[in-house]
Structure 1
Amino acid sequence: MSDTQRQTLDSIEALRCRDDILQAMYWMRGEGFGEDVDARGLMGFLALDADLLAEQLEILVEDGQLAEADGRYVLTDLGAREGGRRFHDEVADLQKTAHGECGPDCPYCKGIRGDGCAHCAMVA
């Protein structure tokens, strides 16, 4: 692997790490685990190298997506928007309903096989 390829992979890994941090913090806040977290707390949810995590936390602070105080990090408004968007993008396909999951009174699915249901085709 060339140095250029290695740098590209390192850049992609760093970007992925920042995405994971924002998504995890957004999820943790939504699930009631608290507004702020330290690096050790994040490592309980993310399989990341400690040095890479520390480096990317600092970049997120510099970019204005996180605020840091006494080694604890909190999402800024920008970070919450970005973390929320990325989290929702990641789980969007998991939240779609399948044919018949709409409920027994769904006017679109009632009495129609799944492969012929226009409603299910729209949400798939």
Structure 2
Amino acid sequence: MKILQSTENERQATPGQAEPAITRVTATVAQVMNLPLDQVLTGMGIRVVESEIDDANFYGGVHIGNGGKVTIFTSPGRDPRVTDTLVRYLIAKTFDLDVADLPAPFGVEYTDITEQARDAWVKAACP
């Protein structure tokens, strides 16, 4: 896996105008979708990692770890514009911002891996 430090991005502030600050608490859909992606990631404390999952049906996923640390996993070899769009969409969904669902055939699946892992461990430890 490689950590993606930056992405190509054409979104820029109006010359002479400062970009508005973005945080997890104050984020809006407009900010997530329009600010430079690096600024969104830094302001919201999100790390993007290119996964090794090469399944054609996998576009990306989000892991929320201890303390709320957010890591977004992307699939390798995708067009950078597709990755940019997906990362922004996953950020919006993760922070429960008001964005429309992706059109068919795309979909978002929610799982609580921690709960599933805990249940599997309890079943294995207490047969």
**TM-score w.r.t. length of structure 2:** 0.28
Larger helix proportion of the pair: 1
Which protein has the larger Cα radius of gyration, Structure 1 or Structure 2? Answer: 1
Larger strand proportion of the pair: 2
